[in-house]
Amino acid sequence: MAQLALTHTLVEHLLYRAMLTEVTAAGTRACTFSSRQLMALTRLPNYSAVRRGVQGLIGKQSIEHYQVAGGDVAATREAIYLVYTPEEIFTRRRAAHFDTSPSMTHLLGENLSFAHAIERLADRYDLSRRETQVALCCAQGLTNAEIGERLFISEQTVKFHLRHVYLKYGVRRRAELISRLLAPDG
């Protein structure tokens, strides 16, 4: 799930987790969701955030919108969505030659230790997708400028994310962060 979270925005991931939880609880793969229901499940503040998030999930092949014959979705304000498991999503994306995060692919390659690092970072320390990317680049020994270049963000944005990572890890220096990142218990 953590690797999937890195390919979603925060809003998309909140929606996906809520939808997957509901589908799993119902024992099915498809469920009816209204914008209001999704707002309640995710605590998102408005309809436009939900709409954009759902469209992002559809575009990233994480969910699929079902059209019901003869049904007027606009009248009911509800829609049926097929929610895929993380494994199915990655399989669908590979089959479609779809890459949602080229910078992450470039960071990870086929390196399993980085895949495990992603799992640890995203789950244990509640890091955002971008914070995780910046932290992993730090562990590779890249400077702030090199991290910014690799992730297509400014050096100031790298510093901003690093401050958040330092706070979440409870460290003050880059060397402490790298030491914690490379420790077996993460």
Q: Do 7 and 84 share a domain, yes or no?
A: yes
How many separate domains does the chain show? Answer: 2
Q: Is the overall model pTM greater than 0.85, yes or no?
A: no
Sign of CA dihedral 85, 90, 94, 98: positive
CB atoms within 10 A of CB 126: 9
Q: Do 91 and 44 share a domain, yes or no?
A: yes
- Dihedral angle of Cα 169, 170, 173, 175, to the nearest 10 degrees: -50
What is the predicted pLDDT for the residue at 8?
80
Q: How far apart are the first and last CA of the chain?
A: 18
Whether the predicted pLDDT of 127 surpasses 90: no
- Mean pLDDT rounded to a whole number for the chain: 82
Q: Do 8 and 87 share a domain, yes or no?
A: yes
Q: What is the pLDDT of residues 56-80, one digit of tens each?
A: 899 888 999 987 665 554 545 688 9
Whether the predicted pLDDT of 129 surpasses 90: no
Token pair recorded at residue 39: 């707002």
What is the predicted pLDDT for the residue at 11?
86
CATH classification at residue 157 = 1.10.10.10
Tell me the C-alpha to C-alpha distance, in Å, between residue 81 and each of 34, 159, 161, 175. Answer: 10, 39, 34, 46
Tell me the C-alpha to C-alpha distance, in Å, between residue 90 and each of 32, 33, 84, 87, 158. Answer: 24, 23, 10, 5, 28
Structural domain including 28 reads: 2-95
Q: Are 44 and 35 in contact (CB under 8 A)?
A: no
What is the predicted pLDDT for the residue at 67?
74
pLDDT confidence bin for 23, thresholds 50/70/90: very high
What is the predicted pLDDT for the residue at 113?
59
pLDDT confidence bin for 180, thresholds 50/70/90: confident
Give the whole-angstrom CA distance, residue 129 versus residue 7. 8
Q: Are 81 and 66 in contact (CB under 8 A)?
A: yes
Last residue of a domain, one of 40, 65, 95: 95
Q: Do 107 and 172 share a domain, yes or no?
A: yes
Tell me the C-alpha to C-alpha distance, in Å, between residue 26 and each of 11, 65, 97, 118. Answer: 23, 18, 31, 30
Least confident span in 5-9, 13-17, 39-43? 5-9
Whether the predicted pLDDT of 96 surpasses 90: no
Task: Tell me the average pLDDT across 156-175.
Answer: 93
Give the whole-angstrom CA distance, residue 7 versus residue 184. 25
Contacts of 55 (CB under 8 A, 6+ apart): none
Q: Do 108 and 172 share a domain, yes or no?
A: yes
Contacts of 10 (CB under 8 A, 6+ apart): 128, 129
Give the whole-angstrom CA distance, residue 126 versus residue 137. 17
pLDDT confidence bin for 21, thresholds 50/70/90: very high
